[in-house]
Amino acid sequence: MPTDFVKIQYTDKNYELPTDKTDFTISVNNETGETDNKKEGEYFGMQIIKYASGRMMVKGSIHKFFNRTDFNGNDFDMINLFSALQDLETELGLKPESCRLENIEIGVNIQLSFDPNRLLQNLLFHRSAEFNKTISGSFYYQSAKRDYIIKIYNKTAQYEKKLKKYSENVNFMKPDEKKEFSIFKKTVNGHLQPNTLRFEIKFLKMNVLNDLDIVFLSDLKKPEMMDLFKNLLLKEFQEVYFYDYTIDETKMKLPEINKLKDYRNPNYWVNLSKKDKYYHKKRFEKMTLKYSQNLKGKVSELIKQKIVKLTEKSLDFSTDNCNKNEKQKFRLFDRSDIGSKSPNQSSQNLRL
């Protein structure tokens, strides 16, 4: 399942905080000693917030919650999703049908036959908005819209960088932090694949998905969701434009080569009118298809194949037959490696 981060409003007014699972803190103003009575706790990456008004919010990565560590670089299928939602209910008392979605990220990890940075370094724009490199020194790019953000980045490089950073500080970690880091390191080394590209849509508003009958967390369990998310991801990826480094200029005419120099320059596209941009996008597409190996088409097909793969083994699967032994087969490791309570402090220190 390509679902990752979610922000949820919990609608059951009778919900009791799971104080047996994690500690909840109340912020106090150091100067006045006053508190807003907002209670916050965290359980394996899922942050639970209860406001004085009674309003309940839950946010975090369902993928990381399922993995029980700060890692989402592996595949996450429908069986994993059913298991994670069942754990949210069993362990935290959060009923999926009472979890109203306010934000959600959908995306997919694919393995390329080449270094993802070769694509990322040549990104131009998505629809009409350019890509921004929001994290200095990282191969992470995004294109922001009014209701959503397109994110595309090198998942392998992300975790290799984080692992190196934390490894350098391991001698300064407390015992519980070292234990959490050991699990994180074991997970990354065992499950991170080379040349992993992540393509993702982060919905800031739920209008589009609400119109598709995706309102509550329980709606993600509908069989048709995988096809719906697949179509959304493929549609948005088709609007990603980048210079294809496999273009063979030796087969091109001089006027085409000169025009290609414009097309591969992100600044060229910024000042074009809507009409001119449409014209040159079509010309750029034709030129790329004619002289390249069509990396865009190949990546699009990989996205499609990965989502189909994530669906295949869960076609006959439901929460009713998801017993403990079945769930454990698909988890990266047993939670007993960590302990019965979520290691709040160490997980905060190691969060990516």
What are the residue boundaries of the structural domains of the chain, listed by start?
A: 3-246+293-315
Beta-strand runs (E) in 51-135: 56-61, 99-111, 123-126, 129-130
The per-residue pLDDT string of the chain (352 residues; one tens digit each, 9 = 90 and over) reads 578 999 999 999 999 999 999 999 998 877 777 888 899 999 999 999 999 999 999 999 999 999 999 999 999 998 999 999 999 999 999 999 999 999 999 999 999 999 999 999 999 999 989 998 766 666 899 999 999 999 999 999 999 999 999 999 999 999 999 999 999 999 999 999 999 999 999 999 999 999 999 999 999 999 888 899 999 999 999 999 999 999 999 999 999 999 999 999 999 999 899 999 999 999 999 999 999 999 999 999 999 999 999 887 554 444 344 445 544 544 555 544 444 455 553 333 343 3
* Strands of 35-43's sheet in order across: 25-28, 35-43, 46-50, 56-61, 3-10, 99-111, 196-203, 148-154, 140-144
Paired tokens of 86: 């069942």
Q: How far apart are CA 11 and CA 5, in angstroms?
A: 19
